[in-house]
Chain A
Amino acid sequence: MSEQGVGASLKRKEDDRYLRGRGQYVGDIRLAGMRDAAFVRSPIAHGKIKSIHVPEEYRDRVFTAADLDADGVKPIVAVSGLAGFKVSEQPVLAFDKVRQVGELIAMCIGESRAEAEDIADAVEVEFEELPAVHDMLEARKPGSALLHEAWGDNIFLETQIDVDIESAFDAPIKITREISTARQCMVPMEGRGTVATWDSRMEQLVLYTGSQMPHIVRTGLSECLGLEQTQLRIVSPDVGGGFGYKGILLPEDICLGWLALRCGYPVRWLEDRREHLTAGANCREHHYSITAYADRDGRLRGIDCEATVDSGAYSSYPFSACLEAAQVASILPGPYDFPAYRCRTYSVATNKCPILPYRGVARTGVCYAMELMLDAVAREAGLEPAEVRMKNLVRPEQMPFNNITHKHFDSGDYPEALRRAMAHIDIEAFRARQRKGEPDGRLLGLGLSVYCEQGAHGTSVYAGWGIPMVPGHEQATARMTPDGGLELRVGVHSHGQSMETTLAQVAHEVLGIPTDKIKLVHGDTEYTPYSTGSWGSRCAVMAGGAVSTACKEIARLAKAVGAHMLQVKPEEVELAQGAVYSQTGRVTLTEIARTWYLRPQDLPKSVDPRGLEVTIGYKPERDTGTFSYAAHLATVAVDPETGDIEILDYVIAEDGGKLINPMVVDGQIYGGLAQGIGTALYEEMRFDGSGQPLASTFADYLLPGPTEVPAPKLDHMETLAPYTEFGVKGIGEGGAIAPPAAIGNAVNDALKGFGAELLHSPMTPRRVLEAIAEAKAAGTATRSDEVVS
């Protein structure tokens, strides 16, 4: 391994600007004559718009759906091809009715954001309120108020998988639970934001917007605004975290694009935290009614589940309203091998923001449900949780393994990950200490969770979903410069993945060009090949594979020129360390590049006219996805008097295949872990009976901070993926998947003496105390306000 190639923990090229505060985000962009937009948003969850009154003095600075309509602006439509999916439209600005708090009704232009807000305050909207649909389980029942009346119910999509479930019914252990995860917000440090301007020279509408998927935004935007795609340019500058939210085409983006066309001057909208929390970025709300069947030795006989996902009011572009729930059915079995399975899923429309794919997407909820069930089985069978998992995990000799939902697990040793996680903790000593009890009265618990994560899944998987976006070949452009440098152009975009560093490492691995002479161009539809962008833990596999493939082609081209310069045949040269070698001589890539660009008279007539520039596509040998996996272990101390939970130790043993830059992977895992801890213990967007979100600031929506995130012990396994370049597996989301399950199991382990069990995340102090109180009431038939101890 070279010091800069694949596998090196190279310091990040991006850090110089990030750490000095010199990153350039949407909020840093200032265009001459730019004005600010603010929106009139619905204050209610569900109602008919009876009238919109714009004060006379602001007539030319307030625009409504009627203005968009006059210009033929189309609503956002994100359809899934899955059978039975009900189609709906997400209006850019609401016109007949509103279906969520925060829905856009009018846009207002001011010299400053404050002035735009003054104008928005002056717009009066009269509503006829309708009953709000705020509970997804109630929303499924007949007689519920309806969001999209034409459907006749509130169900975007219902799916079912049934594999021989009846064969499990005679199992000696049968455990049924109701498990749920709260609605969350994604909360990247940088919210959404867009600056839009018309470039009259290029005849292009230019949108500067922090986007994970600039090309997809361009396609969606062109459909809504009725522009040719060549008339649209999306520039995604530095992005301060995305986590899925910045993959979505928002109505705000369309509004800003339209405003720039209409007004002729640049306009800007920067999402504030209140908008972020109450009007967008919702995720995670799942409910599971789940039964595990098992033998006394802990072997799973079957899983039977009914899963409901609160999909919110609209089907968002491009992932649609059903991705989350329908995925639940296909991934609930996790890394386990069992013979019978049934899962029915419901994607339910409610009067909340659309649910969006957040790091881990459905996996975090699925892992929480499945892993809590495994611990429940372990308690019932009187076994250690690890023992139950060892009995059911797919074994290394079964790899590659087609699981019960036809997922193709490519490689790995799942039991070994669990063993390695547990090796970091002296389990027996911990159990002894747990039995003895802590001097301060706190209760100790240990929890495990194991998952596998399909990443970089491609055409064959997404064609089946039939959503507006199906990934095909991932393309990269590689281009040598006359001074021997290398430009890489990719259509994915970094929202924190450090691709300027890692893709340079990939190129260095192939060509030997120093990474400081390799420049990554990304985040601009004008300069990069089409791509579905950064999502699904795909960039290292797909863009990494594309860059490697393109660089190999550059190597072939350079070797041909180099061989000519060395006066030998192309097959007689090797490329190494940035130079082409023959038996007798050596010529550097810099000399080769200088010859191609500046001294073409020295080239042979037969030279390949592509020169030193290629654009080429890449797909792994199999596009069903890589399967990274990990075992997480948490130990916690629970205060039974206050319900406070402290994480004592956290261990992650994971396998991401070949790691391009292990330090970057560590960083991804730390970040994911922090988000997973948020899901486990803090983050929750509650709603009242009228569909009002109850948190509009970080005083009410709690996030973990530095003091709440322990330094985890990380252990990397590197089982090479069989189908990808270098054996890389997608791993970007994994850190956020397993923590709620591991921490939840640890808490339940701590509380097992009470017979208490928490089945809802986040596991707040109140929920801990309620679970203890309920268990006590069930045990003693008297409920007491007495302090527990």
Chain B
Amino acid sequence: MKPVNFDYARPLDVDGALALLADETALVKVVAGSQSLGPMLNLRLVQPDLLVDITGVEELRSFEESGDKLTLGACITHADIEDGRLPDVTHGALPSVASGIAYRAVRNRGTVGGSLTHADPSADWVSMLAALGATVTLRGPEGARHLPVEEYMLGALEADLRPGELLVSVTVPKLGSGASWGYYKSCRKTGEFAHAIGAMLIDPERGICRAVIGATETRPLVIADAKGLIGDGDPAAFDSKAVTAALTEAGMRDPIERQTHSVALRRAVEGARGR
């Protein structure tokens, strides 16, 4: 299939992009890496009047390390992260997860902002960046907003993006020196979207013990204080019954699904301990 006829614009700054997004009479879609939007256009699942390509905006392709955080422009690609083109403040978590996203061809173009905004529950960043406590910065006609990654995602394929708003950056806090993280995903095959994700961050210095279970029907299940479920991070103390109960409470009815997700989290915990 081929897309419907649409107009295309490539602004050079954020204000220019926001001006184009402000047109309320037209269906305007933002495109960055086009790794999800491209197929959706071809399948005519999206039929925009105007496509605003934001990859020409220098600000969105840059990053900034300051104090206790790293800020990534929305158009930083998975490959930028995988290849170490920006400083690592996560003890290897970001490059490691980036290197496992889909295939290299996708990573070359796919962006972190695009992935979060597309809000596919099976994608890696919606789970891992939630585990790392990252936030997004949105700019729009009403000014800027800052949201935790897990709140930015409202549900499957739905982000908290108001009319005229654009995700401009993602801010990742630096991990403490004793922090460890774990990430495990279960995929049918290399490069496929996951059908279960577990992500874990244990950062004693900052008093954080956060677990995330992703690749569910909706947004990831974030367990902000996971001490009760996983003890001190010792896999032997992993309480699979409690995790399963939490998943049931979150609406996961299928026992096989609960098992797979519980296993994914336990393996993430095992991975965190190993680092």
**Which 9 pairs between the two chains have the least Cβ-Cβ distance?**
A114-B2, A707-B190, A641-B263, A785-B255, A769-B256, A787-B240, A113-B2, A642-B186, A708-B189
Set A272, A697, A787: member contacting B266, Cβ < 8 A? A787
Interface-central residue, B188, B196, B264, by most chain A CB under 10 Å: B188
Give the residues in chain A near B255, CB-CB below 8 Å. Answer: 773, 783, 785
Q: Are A702 and B258 in contact (CB under 8 A)?
A: no
Interface bracket on A: 20 to 34
A438: shortest Cβ distance to chain B, in Å?
Answer: 15
Interface residues of B in 157-195 (CB under 8 A from A): 186, 188-193, 195
- Determine the main DSSP class of A at the interface with B: loop
Sample 21 A-B pairs with CB under 8 A, ordered by A number: A112-B2, A114-B2, A114-B4, A117-B2, A121-B44, A641-B263, A642-B186, A642-B260, A643-B260, A644-B186, A697-B39, A704-B189, A705-B191, A708-B189, A769-B259, A770-B256, A785-B258, A786-B244, A787-B259, A787-B262, A788-B259
Q: Are B186 and A114 in contact (CB under 8 A)?
A: no
Q: Are A765 and B186 in contact (CB under 8 A)?
A: yes
Q: Are B189 and A274 in contact (CB under 8 A)?
A: no
Q: What is the bound-complex CA distance between A178 and B191, given in angstroms? A: 33
Q: What is the bound-complex CA distance between A765 and B261, given in angstroms? A: 13
Give the residues in chain A near B256, CB-CB below 8 Å. Answer: 766, 769-770, 773
Q: Is B105 interfacial (CB-CB < 8 Å)?
A: no
A696: shortest Cβ distance to chain B, in Å?
Answer: 8
Q: What is the bound-complex CA distance between A375 and B8, given in angstroms? A: 60
Set B188, B191, B263: member contacting A787, Cβ < 8 A? B263
Q: What is the bound-complex CA distance between A154 and B1, given in angstroms? A: 34
Interface bracket on B: 20 to 34
Task: Report if A707-B258 is in contact (Cβ < 8 Å); known contacts: A114-B4, A697-B43.
Answer: no
Q: Is B100 interfacial (CB-CB < 8 Å)?
A: no
Q: Are A274 and B1 in contact (CB under 8 A)?
A: yes
B69: shortest Cβ distance to chain A, in Å?
Answer: 34
Give the residues in chain A near B186, CB-CB below 8 Å. Answer: 642, 644, 765
Q: What is the bound-complex CA distance between A785 and B259, given in angstroms? A: 6
> Residues of B with Cβ closer than 8 Å to A?
1-5, 39, 43-44, 186, 188-193, 195-196, 240-241, 244, 255-256, 258-260, 262-264, 266
Task: Report if A765-B188 is in contact (Cβ < 8 Å); known contacts: A117-B1, A786-B240, A787-B263.
Answer: yes
Q: What is the bound-complex CA distance between A274 and B43, given in angstroms? A: 8
Q: What is the bound-complex CA distance between A708 and B244, given in angstroms? A: 31
A539-552 Cβ-contact flags toward B at 8 Å (1 or 0)? 00000000000000
Q: Which residue of B lies closest to A642 (CB)?
A: B186
Q: Which residue of A lies closest to B36 (CB)?
A: A699
Q: What is the bound-complex CA distance between A114 and B2, given in angstroms? A: 5
Give the residues in chain B near A682, CB-CB below 8 Å. Answer: 188-189
Q: Which residue of B lies closest to A784 (CB)?
A: B255
A101-140 Cβ-contact flags toward B at 8 Å (1 or 0)? 0000000000011100110010000000000000000000
Q: Is A330 interfacial (CB-CB < 8 Å)?
A: no
Q: Are B240 and A764 in contact (CB under 8 A)?
A: no
A748-789 Cβ-contact flags toward B at 8 Å (1 or 0)? 000000000000000011100110010000000001011110
Q: What is the bound-complex CA distance between A114 and B44, given in angstroms? A: 10
Q: Are B3 and A708 in contact (CB under 8 A)?
A: no
Q: Are A702 and B190 in contact (CB under 8 A)?
A: no
Taking A642-B196, A702-B189, A783-B255 as known contacts, 17 extra A-B pairs with beta carbons closer than 8 A to each other, sorted by chain A number, are A114-B3, A114-B5, A117-B2, A272-B1, A641-B263, A697-B43, A699-B193, A704-B189, A705-B189, A705-B190, A705-B191, A708-B189, A708-B190, A764-B188, A773-B256, A785-B259, A787-B259
